[in-house]
Protein backbone atom coordinates (compact mmCIF):
# COMPACT_ATOMS: atom_id res chain seq x y z
CA UNK A 1 0.00 0.00 0.00
CA UNK A 2 1.43 3.45 -0.91
CA UNK A 3 2.70 5.58 1.98
CA UNK A 4 0.12 8.30 1.20
CA UNK A 5 -2.73 5.78 1.48
CA UNK A 6 -1.33 4.45 4.76
CA UNK A 7 -1.16 7.96 6.25
CA UNK A 8 -4.68 8.71 5.07
CA UNK A 9 -5.97 5.46 6.62
CA UNK A 10 -4.23 6.16 9.93
CA UNK A 11 -5.63 9.69 9.96
CA UNK A 12 -9.14 8.39 9.32
CA UNK A 13 -8.83 5.82 12.11
CA UNK A 14 -7.52 8.50 14.50
CA UNK A 15 -10.42 10.82 13.69
CA UNK A 16 -12.91 8.00 14.16
CA UNK A 17 -11.45 7.14 17.57
CA UNK A 18 -11.48 10.78 18.63
CA UNK A 19 -15.14 11.12 17.70
CA UNK A 20 -15.90 7.99 19.72
CA UNK A 21 -13.98 9.39 22.71
CA UNK A 22 -15.98 12.63 22.55
CA UNK A 23 -19.28 10.79 22.27
CA UNK A 24 -18.41 8.55 25.25
CA UNK A 25 -17.43 11.62 27.27
CA UNK A 26 -20.73 13.31 26.40
CA UNK A 27 -22.72 10.25 27.46
CA UNK A 28 -20.91 10.18 30.80
CA UNK A 29 -21.52 13.90 31.42
CA UNK A 30 -25.20 13.69 30.47
CA UNK A 31 -25.68 10.77 32.84
CA UNK A 32 -24.03 12.72 35.67
CA UNK A 33 -25.35 16.21 35.03
CA UNK A 34 -28.01 16.14 32.30
CA UNK A 35 -28.13 17.65 28.82
CA UNK A 36 -29.07 21.12 30.08
CA UNK A 37 -25.86 21.49 32.11
CA UNK A 38 -23.61 20.05 29.41
CA UNK A 39 -21.16 22.61 28.04
CA UNK A 40 -18.51 22.35 25.36
CA UNK A 41 -15.90 23.44 27.93
CA UNK A 42 -16.84 20.58 30.24
CA UNK A 43 -16.92 18.17 27.32
CA UNK A 44 -13.42 19.15 26.21
CA UNK A 45 -12.12 18.53 29.73
CA UNK A 46 -13.96 15.21 30.07
CA UNK A 47 -12.65 13.96 26.72
CA UNK A 48 -9.17 15.38 27.50
CA UNK A 49 -9.03 17.37 24.28
CA UNK A 50 -8.46 21.05 23.65
CA UNK A 51 -11.51 23.09 22.67
CA UNK A 52 -9.96 23.58 19.23
CA UNK A 53 -9.79 19.81 18.76
CA UNK A 54 -13.34 19.37 20.07
CA UNK A 55 -14.76 21.96 17.66
CA UNK A 56 -12.97 20.23 14.80
CA UNK A 57 -15.39 17.32 15.23
CA UNK A 58 -18.50 18.88 16.76
CA UNK A 59 -19.74 22.47 16.63
CA UNK A 60 -22.28 22.17 19.45
CA UNK A 61 -23.61 19.82 22.10
CA UNK A 62 -26.65 19.19 19.87
CA UNK A 63 -24.32 17.72 17.24
CA UNK A 64 -22.74 15.50 19.87
CA UNK A 65 -26.11 14.17 21.02
CA UNK A 66 -27.06 13.63 17.38
CA UNK A 67 -23.94 11.47 17.00
CA UNK A 68 -25.04 9.42 20.03
CA UNK A 69 -28.43 8.77 18.41
CA UNK A 70 -26.84 7.97 15.04
CA UNK A 71 -24.64 5.38 16.72
CA UNK A 72 -27.63 3.86 18.53
CA UNK A 73 -29.87 3.62 15.46
CA UNK A 74 -27.04 2.23 13.34
CA UNK A 75 -26.43 -0.52 15.90
CA UNK A 76 -30.14 -1.38 15.91
CA UNK A 77 -30.14 -1.56 12.10
CA UNK A 78 -27.08 -3.83 12.09
CA UNK A 79 -28.74 -6.21 14.54
CA UNK A 80 -31.94 -6.34 12.51
CA UNK A 81 -30.00 -7.02 9.32
CA UNK A 82 -28.11 -9.87 10.99
CA UNK A 83 -31.40 -11.40 12.11
CA UNK A 84 -32.75 -11.15 8.56
CA UNK A 85 -29.81 -13.26 7.37
CA UNK A 86 -30.70 -16.16 9.68
CA UNK A 87 -32.66 -19.09 8.21
CA UNK A 88 -35.16 -19.38 11.06
CA UNK A 89 -38.49 -18.49 9.47
CA UNK A 90 -40.49 -15.27 9.64
CA UNK A 91 -42.30 -15.92 12.93
CA UNK A 92 -39.00 -16.65 14.70
CA UNK A 93 -37.35 -13.65 13.06
CA UNK A 94 -40.14 -11.39 14.32
CA UNK A 95 -39.51 -12.66 17.85
CA UNK A 96 -35.79 -11.95 17.49
CA UNK A 97 -36.51 -8.45 16.15
CA UNK A 98 -38.61 -7.68 19.20
CA UNK A 99 -36.04 -9.10 21.61
CA UNK A 100 -33.16 -7.20 19.97
CA UNK A 101 -34.91 -3.83 20.20
CA UNK A 102 -35.97 -4.40 23.81
CA UNK A 103 -32.45 -5.47 24.76
CA UNK A 104 -30.95 -2.35 23.22
CA UNK A 105 -33.55 -0.19 24.97
CA UNK A 106 -32.55 -1.86 28.23
CA UNK A 107 -28.84 -1.28 27.57
CA UNK A 108 -29.44 2.44 27.03
CA UNK A 109 -32.17 2.85 29.67
CA UNK A 110 -30.18 5.09 32.02
CA UNK A 111 -29.11 7.43 29.23
CA UNK A 112 -32.63 7.61 27.78
CA UNK A 113 -34.10 8.40 31.18
CA UNK A 114 -31.50 11.12 31.73
CA UNK A 115 -32.66 12.81 28.53
CA UNK A 116 -36.37 12.31 29.21
CA UNK A 117 -36.19 14.09 32.56
CA UNK A 118 -33.98 16.89 31.23
CA UNK A 119 -36.09 20.02 30.81
CA UNK A 120 -33.88 21.64 28.17
CA UNK A 121 -33.69 18.55 25.98
CA UNK A 122 -37.43 17.83 26.15
CA UNK A 123 -38.25 21.47 25.40
CA UNK A 124 -35.93 21.35 22.40
CA UNK A 125 -37.52 18.16 21.11
CA UNK A 126 -41.03 19.52 21.67
CA UNK A 127 -40.34 22.65 19.62
CA UNK A 128 -38.56 20.72 16.88
CA UNK A 129 -41.32 18.17 16.46
CA UNK A 130 -44.04 20.82 16.59
CA UNK A 131 -42.67 23.11 13.89
CA UNK A 132 -39.21 22.59 12.39
CA UNK A 133 -39.40 25.91 10.54
CA UNK A 134 -39.14 27.86 13.80
CA UNK A 135 -35.75 26.51 14.83
CA UNK A 136 -32.16 26.98 13.64
CA UNK A 137 -30.85 24.95 10.72
CA UNK A 138 -28.59 22.91 13.03
CA UNK A 139 -31.55 21.68 15.07
CA UNK A 140 -33.59 20.96 11.94
CA UNK A 141 -30.66 18.84 10.77
CA UNK A 142 -30.86 16.89 14.03
CA UNK A 143 -34.55 16.08 13.55
CA UNK A 144 -33.99 15.23 9.89
CA UNK A 145 -31.26 12.80 10.91
CA UNK A 146 -33.58 11.17 13.45
CA UNK A 147 -36.32 10.76 10.86
CA UNK A 148 -33.89 9.31 8.31
CA UNK A 149 -32.56 6.71 10.75
CA UNK A 150 -36.03 5.75 11.98
CA UNK A 151 -37.21 5.58 8.37
CA UNK A 152 -34.40 3.17 7.53
CA UNK A 153 -35.39 0.90 10.43
CA UNK A 154 -39.04 1.02 9.41
CA UNK A 155 -38.10 0.13 5.83
CA UNK A 156 -36.30 -3.03 7.01
CA UNK A 157 -39.33 -4.15 9.00
CA UNK A 158 -41.84 -3.24 6.30
CA UNK A 159 -39.93 -5.24 3.69
CA UNK A 160 -39.71 -8.14 6.14
CA UNK A 161 -43.49 -8.10 6.66
CA UNK A 162 -44.18 -7.78 2.92
CA UNK A 163 -41.92 -10.75 2.22
CA UNK A 164 -43.67 -12.73 4.94
CA UNK A 165 -47.00 -12.04 3.24
CA UNK A 166 -45.61 -13.13 -0.14
CA UNK A 167 -44.34 -16.39 1.36
CA UNK A 168 -47.56 -17.10 3.21
CA UNK A 169 -46.01 -16.70 6.68
CA UNK A 170 -48.24 -13.68 7.48
CA UNK A 171 -51.70 -12.64 6.41
CA UNK A 172 -52.00 -9.63 4.10
CA UNK A 173 -51.65 -6.43 6.11
CA UNK A 174 -50.56 -2.82 5.83
CA UNK A 175 -46.81 -3.03 6.58
CA UNK A 176 -46.42 0.65 7.49
CA UNK A 177 -49.31 0.61 9.99
CA UNK A 178 -48.14 -2.70 11.44
CA UNK A 179 -44.63 -1.32 11.99
CA UNK A 180 -46.09 1.79 13.62
CA UNK A 181 -48.13 -0.33 16.03
CA UNK A 182 -45.10 -2.50 16.77
CA UNK A 183 -42.99 0.59 17.47
CA UNK A 184 -45.58 1.94 19.90
CA UNK A 185 -45.75 -1.42 21.69
CA UNK A 186 -41.96 -1.63 22.03
CA UNK A 187 -41.76 1.94 23.29
CA UNK A 188 -44.49 1.30 25.86
CA UNK A 189 -42.52 -1.58 27.37
CA UNK A 190 -39.18 0.19 27.13
CA UNK A 191 -40.27 3.51 28.64
CA UNK A 192 -42.54 2.65 31.53
CA UNK A 193 -44.05 5.73 33.19
CA UNK A 194 -44.03 6.14 37.00
CA UNK A 195 -47.82 5.72 37.17
CA UNK A 196 -47.66 2.38 35.34
CA UNK A 197 -46.99 -0.22 38.07
CA UNK A 198 -46.39 -3.23 35.80
CA UNK A 199 -42.79 -3.77 34.80
CA UNK A 200 -41.60 -6.96 33.12
CA UNK A 201 -38.27 -8.25 31.88
CA UNK A 202 -37.07 -8.44 28.29
CA UNK A 203 -38.00 -12.11 27.84
CA UNK A 204 -41.55 -11.73 29.16
CA UNK A 205 -42.10 -8.56 27.13
CA UNK A 206 -40.72 -10.26 24.02
CA UNK A 207 -43.08 -13.20 24.32
CA UNK A 208 -46.10 -11.01 25.06
CA UNK A 209 -45.55 -8.66 22.11
CA UNK A 210 -44.66 -11.52 19.76
CA UNK A 211 -47.76 -13.54 20.62
CA UNK A 212 -49.94 -10.44 20.43
CA UNK A 213 -48.76 -9.57 16.91
CA UNK A 214 -48.68 -13.14 15.65
CA UNK A 215 -52.32 -13.46 16.65
CA UNK A 216 -53.12 -10.75 14.12
CA UNK A 217 -50.47 -11.65 11.54
CA UNK A 218 -50.98 -15.41 11.38
CA UNK A 219 -52.42 -16.50 8.02
CA UNK A 220 -55.92 -18.02 7.93
CA UNK A 221 -56.01 -21.64 9.13
CA UNK A 222 -55.31 -24.07 6.33
CA UNK A 223 -53.43 -21.57 4.14
CA UNK A 224 -50.14 -21.49 6.01
CA UNK A 225 -47.09 -22.26 3.90
CA UNK A 226 -43.72 -23.59 5.01
CA UNK A 227 -41.39 -20.84 6.19
CA UNK A 228 -37.94 -20.81 4.77
CA UNK A 229 -37.34 -17.07 4.88
Return d(Cα 62, Cα 94) in angstroms, integer: 34
- Helix H segments across 88-136? 90-107, 109-116, 119-130
CB 206 within 8 A of CB 200: no
Q: What is the reported pLDDT for 107?
A: 86
CB 209 within 8 A of CB 98: yes
Task: Identify the three-state secondary structure at position 172.
Answer: coil
Q: What is the reported pLDDT for 228?
A: 45
> CA dist 101 to 81, 156, 185, 195, 200, Å?
12, 13, 11, 23, 15
Taking the alpha carbons at both ends of the chain, their separation in whole angstroms is 41
Q: Is the dihedral of CA 216, 153, 132, 28 positive or negative?
A: positive
Q: Angle 202-217/90-107 helices, nearest 10 degrees?
A: 140
User: Per-residue pLDDT for the chain (229 aa), expressed as one digit of tens each?
Assistant: 566 577 788 888 888 899 999 999 999 999 998 999 999 999 999 999 999 999 999 988 888 988 998 888 999 999 999 999 998 999 999 999 999 999 998 888 888 888 888 888 887 777 656 665 666 666 777 778 888 888 999 999 999 999 999 999 999 989 999 999 999 888 887 766 555 555 678 888 899 899 999 988 888 764 444 444 4
Any idea of the CA torsion for 47, 50, 53, 54, to the nearest 10 degrees?
50
Residue 191 Ramachandran class (φ > 0 left, ψ -120 to 50 alpha, else beta)? beta
Choosing among 3.40.50.720, 1.10.10.60, 3.40.1190.10, 2.120.10.30, the CATH entry for 1-58 is 1.10.10.60
Q: What pTM does this model have?
A: 0.79
CB 212 within 8 A of CB 184: no
Q: Angle 137-166/90-107 helices, nearest 10 degrees?
A: 150
- Sequence spans of domains, the chain: 1-58, 61-217
DSSP 138-163: HHHHHHHHHHHHHHHHHHHHHHHHHH
∠ Cα 210 212 216 (to 5°):
110
Q: What is the reported pLDDT for 81?
A: 93
Return d(Cα 56, Cα 58) in angstroms, integer: 6
Q: What is the reported pLDDT for 227?
A: 47
CATH topology of domain 61-217: Tetracycline Repressor; domain 2 (1.10.357)
Q: What is the reported pLDDT for 140?
A: 74
> CA dist 185 to 163, 178, 227, Å?
22, 11, 25
Amino acid sequence: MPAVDMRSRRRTLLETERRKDIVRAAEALILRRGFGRLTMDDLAREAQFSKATLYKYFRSKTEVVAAIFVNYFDRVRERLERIRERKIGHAAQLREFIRAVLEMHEESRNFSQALMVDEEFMKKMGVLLADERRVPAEDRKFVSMMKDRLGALSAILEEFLAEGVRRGAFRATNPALTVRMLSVSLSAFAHRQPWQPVEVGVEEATEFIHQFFMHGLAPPRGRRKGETR
